[in-house]
Amino acid sequence: MTNTTLKLLAQQLQLSISTVSRALKDHPDISASTKAKVNALAQSLDYEPNAYAIQLRTQSSKILGVIVPAISNLFYDSFIAAVEEESRNNGYAVMILQSSHNPENELSNLKIFRQNRVSGVFACLSSSTENLEVYQKMNEREIPVVFFDIVPKDNRFTKVRMADERCAIMAAENIIKRNAKKVLAIFGDEGLSITQKRKSAFQKFMQDFAPKTHCSYAHAASTKEAEETMKKFADKKQKVDTVFCMTDEILIGVMRTIQELQIKVPNEIGVISISNGFIPNLYYPHISYVETSGHELGKLAFIQMMANMKGGKTLTELTVDAKFVEGGSM
Amino acid sequence: MTNTTLKLLAQQLQLSISTVSRALKDHPDISASTKAKVNALAQSLDYEPNAYAIQLRTQSSKILGVIVPAISNLFYDSFIAAVEEESRNNGYAVMILQSSHNPENELSNLKIFRQNRVSGVFACLSSSTENLEVYQKMNEREIPVVFFDIVPKDNRFTKVRMADERCAIMAAENIIKRNAKKVLAIFGDEGLSITQKRKSAFQKFMQDFAPKTHCSYAHAASTKEAEETMKKFADKKQKVDTVFCMTDEILIGVMRTIQELQIKVPNEIGVISISNGFIPNLYYPHISYVETSGHELGKLAFIQMMANMKGGKTLTELTVDAKFVEGGSM
DNA sequence: ATAAAAATATCAAACGATTGCGAAAAAATT
DNA sequence: AATTTTTTCGCAATCGTTTGATATTTTTAT
């Protein structure tokens, strides 16, 4: 079966293509009666406008691109879900590509986006991306880029992110409230700006408001590392009474150890993390956490994208605020 | 900055558009020297072919659509990730839309796909979808549809799915091996064919090979329900010694109760589930599970899609085999 | 030197829609 | 009845690419 086109409709109705086109978009030039006829036939023949032709003609694509390190991730998937939802409600479709934290993939993904003339891209840098030239080039081509989560330091770009400092501080506050004496704080990949922000805010706050609390700092780039780190700190000599986990991956590792060693939460140890909430609620008692919602971030990013596409470049950095969610682990 | 087009290149090189086009695709008609010139200029001007124009002209889009109930899901996200990866390696980009288990969304998603002339769609039906006419229509338009996970019963369609019966049987085998006396088996949404398949296979196997084992069957459509179901069965009178969880959602609920009531795994109770492995490994001891890999399924689906696009319709139903992964919970 | 063959490049018509401009028909005004 | 205005529609160019057919030039063979 051949697709119905304007041409076909026009032929069947003995009208010109332009008339049909206008009738379909309710153009004032066209009489009500012909509009009715056109619509009726279009309906019965399932006319579906060819997006390519439209995009070619109008030079605007109604497609947005999203680059994430991995789709299969508790944070990114909710971000994507939010962006997709907002996009669909606004007549856009999303194209999603994964970089696998590989800058080369990132480049080829961007190429696909450019070739498909997406009208905007949401990008999360892969952890080792250094060269931002491509993104600069996209801006020159007037394809707005909104960065999220892992964002460039450079402030020529538009970014949305969690209020990382606030997150860390809220966690610290609750640790102090618990009256912790020996704290283990495990942070993520040391190279990421997100880690640096969270760590320095956390450290500063603890020093300023609870200088006597003894804090040990560690980094874990994987669940496995977190698990091992936790094991080290769980032996008698340096037993900690509170542990802070910067990410879900870390929390998972920590909880494995805690369960394995049958340490009682919250009596023997308090646990607090930064998360979107899914993982913390898997355990009993639920782990208290500072909520960072990929969903919220996605919505914010979309708004920012629309703003960028409409008006001139608004080169700002927006943040989603955090909130503390009480579990039973503190 | 205006985009570089074939036309522009042609003008600058004093060549015709068609020559430039052919040079760029290494057509034998064009001499090596002009090819070199063309390529050089194209390079320096960052020429990127306009996908819309190509698709309009060639009537083939190099875009695949994926419909899932939700992106933010441990199974679907890995399926998507696999499809995306395979697609990219084969020159396709994927467009992903969520139905939220709402048939209306499903319809409008399909519309978007049609308008964007995707060259194929991977579809997971929403749980309440009854009307398959749209999908039939896509087939008529020669847009192959590969169903996965929640698939139509109708065998006019191509489907890939887990070997559900085998999964259930493998679980049952291991339950029998454990020498269970009182088993609680919690299954998912009763309306889904996937549930029915798993349940009937499980039941039959247990009856055939361990008729004396007492089995209680329950359904839970959410984590909350599973949690409560588990609570009911955890009191003394009807204490069970083994629990089977058909999905991750159920496992999570069950484990919450188990942790809350401080029931010892595997001594007091054995736990086994069907999962992709992420959730089972969160606990200590790791939960034994029958592995159903969204990733594998995605790869299979992609192969099937390619086959459908190339050759004639191969209206088959393919399954991904399952394997048992020993945790410490049995 | 001429014809035939091979190599190289161009023309022009699509693909399906949008849109400024002009034309014909109908309605309103004088 | 003649003219103007309004309504309704068609023409044709355009977006960027592909591709069969054709033209031009070069090479090879006669």
Q: Using a 7 Å cut-off to protein CB atoms, list the covered nucleotides of chain C.
A: 7-12, 14-20
pLDDT score of B234: 86
Predicted confidence at residue A236, as pLDDT, reads: 64
pLDDT band for A129, please (50, 70, 90 cuts): confident
Q: What is the CATH number of domain B61-160+295-320?
A: 3.40.50.2300
Q: Give how far B204 is from chain A: nearest CA, Å.
A: 32
Residue A1 has pLDDT above 60, yes or no: no
pLDDT in tens, A226-257: 999 999 998 766 689 999 999 999 999 999 99
Does a cis peptide bond (omega within 30 degrees of 0) precede residue B49? Answer: no
Report the phi/psi class of residue A192: left, alpha or beta, with left for phi > 0 and alpha for psi in -120 to 50: beta
Q: How far is the CA of A195 from the C1' of C23 (A)?
A: 69
Could you read off the pLDDT of A74-114 as tens digits, one per residue?
A: 899 999 999 999 999 998 999 999 999 999 999 999 999 99
Is B93 in contact with A94 (Cβ distance < 8 A)? no
- pLDDT score recorded for residue A156: 87
pLDDT of residue B193: 84
Q: pLDDT tens across A303-323, in order?
A: 999 998 887 666 789 999 999
Share of chain A above pLDDT 90, in %: 77
What's residue A2's pLDDT? 65
Rounded to the nearest angstrom, the gap between the alpha carbon of residue B178 and the centroid of all alpha carbons in its chain is 31
Which pLDDT score is estimated for B312? 64
Tell me what pLDDT residue A42 has: 93
The span from the CA of B72 to the CA of B98, in Å, is: 10
Q: How far apart (Å, rounded) are the C-alpha atoms in residues B265 and B259? A: 9
Q: Do domains B61-160+295-320 and B164-291 have the same CATH topology?
A: yes
Nearest protein residue, CA measured to C1' of D16: B53
Q: Do A1 and B115 touch (CB under 8 A)?
A: no
Identity at B88, one-letter amino acid code: R
Residue A40 (CA) to nucleotide D3 (C1'), in angstroms, measures 38
Tell me which of A22-26, A151-155, A325-329, B36-40 is least confident. Answer: A151-155
Per-position pLDDT tens, chain B of length 330: 567 899 999 989 999 999 999 999 988 888 888 899 999 999 999 899 999 999 999 888 899 999 999 998 889 999 999 999 999 999 899 999 999 999 999 999 999 999 888 999 999 999 888 889 999 888 877 889 999 998 898 888 999 999 999 999 999 999 999 999 999 999 999 988 889 999 999 999 999 999 999 999 999 999 999 999 999 998 766 689 999 999 999 999 999 999 999 899 999 999 999 999 999 999 989 999 999 999 999 999 999 999 988 876 666 899 999 999 999 999
CATH fold for domain A164-291:
Rossmann fold (3.40.50)
Nearest Cα residue to A122 out of A137, A135, A104 = A135
Report the pLDDT value the prediction gives residue A313, as an integer from 0 to 100.
64
Q: What is the pLDDT of residue A137?
A: 85
Residue B114: exposure state from Cβ atoms within 10 A (0-12, 13-18, ≥19): buried
Kindly determine whether residue B77 and residue A73, on different chains, have CB atoms separated by under 8 Å.
yes
A43 pairs with which residues across the strands? none
Cα separation, A227 vs A301, whole angstroms: 33
pLDDT score at A312: 64
Nearest chain A residue to B3 by CA: give it.
A141
First to last CA, chain B: 65
Question: What are the pLDDT digits (tens) for A260-309?
Answer: 998 999 999 999 999 999 999 999 899 999 999 999 999 999 999 999 88
Nucleotide nearest to A59 (CA to C1'): D15
Among A49, A53, A71, beta carbon nearest to B77:
A71
Contact B157, B151 (CB under 8 A): yes
Structural domain boundaries in chain A: 6-49, 61-160+295-320, 164-291
Cis peptide before B266 (omega within 30 of 0): yes
Q: Name the minimum distance, in Å, from the CA of B206 to any CA of chain A.
A: 30
pLDDT of residue A304: 94
Residues of B in contact with A137 (CB under 8 A): 46
> What value does the mean pLDDT take over residues A25-53?
92
For residue A180, give the nearest of A252, A234, A244, A237 by alpha carbon.
Answer: A244
